[in-house]
């Protein structure tokens, strides 16, 4: 750990382990992809272990291509590990399930369904009686500030509103785990800030376990109770920082000297790994020409 990462409050770093049981466990995970085009097998993740405690908000950062989405897809049940174990409450993941809500960068909404029907799609598919989820759907739409848009189609909404629908859709099953893969990555900075605040409000109220992927160090430090930095591919855990800023958080914290310092350190670490990743992709071991 660098000196600045060992800084005092408001961002304190300490061992991520605590007494809470692990909600999510990655145990010595390796993931290899076989090229469809006959290229050599590609190791995306190599021997990665990570425990995420119940009600933790873990932000995962790292250079593009280091295996962040792969890791999220493993716990979501969309992919399986080549070796190692992926556990939820100590039980191996067999596939996707309503106990894990997933939000991607582009809300994969059904364009022919209105906002309310998009939000209700999950429970409807599980044959839950409509009266059991309708009140909840309206409550969640209120929570994400979209009550007035229940009857609108996705194409009639802004990008930020569509992501709010995607979040509402992930919340309708009241999943104990929320998995988010760069959910605000395509939004303009102002909308992004509002979405971050909204997500924190939801998390502070319900205290779900969150795994949140971002390439934005500031976003990670602002949102997370813990920031995990991955190495360039094959992905491993390089740094694990507990971000103990006071909650509820507000944006004044972004100017705090310690926040700025830890952010700069994390940024430097990710940059170093991004340069290593670029050198690796270029087939070089000395990234001397990359500035």
Ligand X SMILES: Nc1ncnc2c1ncn2[C@@H]1O[C@H](COP(=O)(O)OP(=O)(O)O)[C@@H](O)[C@H]1O
Q: Which is nearer to ligand X, 23 or 233 (CB)?
A: 233
Q: Which does 221 bind (CB under 5 to 8 A by kind): Mg ion, ligand X, none?
A: none
Q: Which does 122 bind (CB under 5 to 8 A by kind): ligand X, Mg ion, none?
A: none
Residues 230-249 that bind ligand X (CB under 6 A): 233
Residues 33-62 that bind ligand X (CB under 6 A): 33, 42, 44, 62
Rounded to whole angstroms, the Cα distance separating 161 from 159 reads 5
The answer to whether 69 contacts Mg ion (rule: CB under 5 A) is yes
H/E stretch holding 284 reads none
Q: Which of 13, 25, 69, 118 binds ligand X (CB under 6 A)?
A: 69
Q: Which is nearer to ligand X, 67 or 123 (CB)?
A: 67
For the CB of residue 224, give the shortest distance to ligand X in the complex, in Å: 17
For the CB of residue 181, give the shortest distance to ligand X in the complex, in Å: 7
- Helix 115-125 × helix 130-143 angle, to 10°: 140
Torsion, Cα 93 94 99 105, to 10 degrees, reads 80
Q: Which of 5, 27, 55, 64 binds ligand X (CB under 6 A)?
A: 64
The count of residues interacting with Mg ion (CB under 5 A) is 1
Residues 144-183 that bind ligand X (CB under 6 A): none
- Contacts (Cβ under 8 Å, ≥6 apart) of 102: 72, 76, 96, 170, 179, 180, 181
Token look-up 């988010």 returns 180
Q: Which is nearer to Mg ion, 161 or 229 (CB)?
A: 229
Tell which phi-psi region holds residue 227, choosing left (phi > 0), alpha (psi between -120 and 50) or beta. beta
- Contacts (Cβ under 8 Å, ≥6 apart) of 250: none
Torsion, Cα 132 133 138 143, to 10 degrees, reads 120
Which segment (47-55, 69-77, 100-108, 136-144) binds Mg ion by CB under 5 A?
A: 69-77
Rounded to whole angstroms, the Cα distance separating 86 from 221 reads 25
Residues found near ligand X in the complex (CB under 6 A): 33, 42, 44, 62, 64-70, 233
């Amino acid at each position: 750990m660098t000196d600045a990462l060992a800084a005092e409050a408001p961002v304190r770093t300490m061992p991520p382990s605590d007494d809470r049981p692990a909600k999510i466990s990655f145990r010595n995970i390796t993931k290899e992809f076989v090229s469809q085009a006959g290229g050599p097998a590609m190791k995306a993740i190599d021997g990665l272990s990570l425990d995420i405690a119940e009600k933790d908000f873990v932000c995962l950062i790292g250079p593009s291509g280091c295996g962040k989405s792969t890791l999220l897809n493993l716990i979501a049940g969309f992919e399986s590990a080549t070796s190692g174990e992926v556990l939820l409450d100590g039980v191996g993941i067999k596939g996707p399930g309503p106990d894990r809500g997933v939000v991607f960068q582009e809300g994969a909404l059904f364009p022919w369904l209105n906002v309310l029907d998009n939000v209700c799609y999950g429970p409807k598919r599980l044959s839950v009686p409509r009266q059991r989820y309708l009140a909840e759907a309206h409550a969640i739409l209120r929570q994400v500030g979209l009550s007035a848009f229940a009857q609108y189609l996705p194409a009639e909404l802004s990008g930020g509103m569509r992501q709010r629908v995607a979040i509402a859709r992930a919340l309708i099953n009241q999943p104990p785990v929320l998995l988010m893969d760069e959910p605000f990555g395509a939004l303009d900075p102002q909308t992004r800030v509002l979405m971050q605040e909204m997500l924190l409000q939801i998390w502070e109220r319900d205290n779900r376990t969150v795994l949140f992927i971002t390439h934005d160090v500031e976003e990670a430090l602002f949102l997370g109770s813990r920031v995990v930095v991955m190495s360039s591919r094959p992905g491993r855990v390089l740094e694990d920082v507990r971000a103990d800023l006071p909650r509820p958080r507000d944006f004044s914290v972004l100017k705090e000297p310690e926040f700025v310092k830890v952010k700069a350190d994390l940024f430097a670490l990710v940059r170093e790994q991004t340069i290593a990743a670029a050198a690796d992709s270029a087939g070089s071991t000395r990234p001397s020409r990359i500035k």
